[in-house]
Structure 1
Amino acid sequence: MISKTALLCALARAVHTHAKSEKIFEDEFAQDFVGLKEYRHARNLARQFLPAKKSKSKDYPAKDFIDQYLLPIILPRNRFAEDIVDAKQKTGDVQYVLLGAGLDSFALRNKSQNVDVFELDLYETQVFKIERTRQLFTKRRPKVHFVEIDFNKDSIISRLTNAGFNPKKRSVFSILGVSYYIPIEIFFKTIAEISKIAAPNSAIVFDYYEKERDSADSTTKISRLKQITASCGECMVDGYDPVQVDNLARKSGIQYCHDLSPKDIDEAFFSASTGLSAFEGVHLMYCGL
């Protein structure tokens, strides 16, 4: 069974791609890759999370929810990670490793022969993606390794190695949307494991949200997001302290870190014409190895 939050993320990418507003990130495969049935399911989910407003469009509640709670997180993080991959592939081969890939469609959109893609996720997700890839690409297969993994039980190193990962080749490791559900100490054990198999000049990209000063405040957007994900069967943890993130990153084999705050994200990705702004408390992290 595909996670509901993965479906909502795919829905948001599709909506933004087909919108008339300025594009921050485009995913022309989002809707077709998910499929009409699941796309409609995701749209119906989105309608549930905000009360209907007076509008001629029956999709207004869904759009309002997408604009407030999905696009401000999803667009900059996907653009950020793929910009890094694009920059590295211009100077030679690179492996792009997506941990918890969900319904990400980079492998379908990738046109560079310099990029070898590894997607790690649960068995159910991989079965779904393999079948959809076969349906969409009858004559050409995208350059991608679908790696089945249970992150609670399996070794990332052994799974990647068995799938053909080359530890001597530069890599970009994407861990987007994962830290929201994992305690900080466990998350950085994963970072430390990745550091052991990453070649020099590799990078790790992840996002996280700041631990709230007043966790009892149920009116913040983060608190509302927690309620929404819980209703999807996925419970978020309490967030991370930025100082602790930096300290643990350096203890995990990271050579240097660059933390983009919500203000930085706003300046880098959102202009006034987009009608969007960065999600409060959410950071993007670039770690050099």
Structure 2
Amino acid sequence: MPLVSIRHLTTYRYRNPVALGEHRMMLRPLESYDQRLVSAELAVWPQPAVLRNVHDVFGNCVSIARFTGRAERLSVESRVTLEHTPQPAFDFDGESYAQTLPLAYSEEDHPDLAQSIERQHSDPTGELEAWARRFVRRAGATSLRTLLTDMTHAIHGEFAYGTRLTGAPQAPLETLALGSGSCRDFAMLMIEAVRSLGLAARFVSGYVYSSSKSGGSQKAGRTGGGHTHAWVRVYLPSCGWVEFDPTNGIVGNADLVRVAIARDPRQAAPLHGTWSGLPADYLGMDVEVEVSVEAEADTQPAPLRRVAQGY
């Protein structure tokens, strides 16, 4: 199994010392069957007056920092190492998943999935739904495995990727019209498309790496490497939440390190907060993400550490 190390450094720069408000940091990967943390460190400068950890409504790990005094710079650095063991997307004990469309969730599951089925973007002429239905068979049952795989590969193959590190995702209709977008644009396009078919879908934020390489930086690997990445998870009975990366055409969670899961991408921001000063004081933000991979992990879990001082 790959042993993945991630360094994520964000630095805000100001012309004059500003008063820093509360900042929320969502940088710690979620532990599960497929990813197990070996070590995790969080360094914040200036040192917060208070630094505490909570879980949000989706169970994501959130660190909350509060400050006193003023500073010309705010830096947040996360360093994590984890074992990553991708799981099969559909096949279990050699049997293929055979769920078909239309899909009716159980009475027990539907109340918890309802908001992940509800569409968030307008589609007044049904253009997005029509695009989604191109993957539905005209006669007979449509395999969800085939539909979701084909949709993932279609976005990967037919849309042009462009890096855009800031700002909200494009509306899905805008992505359709442009034929291009960033990873979060493609994620929202697929989320809204499958929601139009009655499926529950959520936004995932994290990191992507290339398991075909070992040692060194992964910036030149998968599309979307070198910064945070976004993809989709869809809930399918018997399989649970299955992940799809339309940017890279990945079905399943190979090469994808999950950090945050949300109904809306605004709920999965890696770092956000407030500051007080003159508008002209803000000089800019710099982000560095480095991912390195070793082919096999042969380590014992170490105690997790938290560092809350300058570096």
Higher strand fraction (1 or 2): 2
Compute the TM-score of the two structures, normalised by the length of structure 2: 0.22
Compute the TM-score of the two structures, normalised by the length of structure 1: 0.23
The structure with the larger Rg is 2
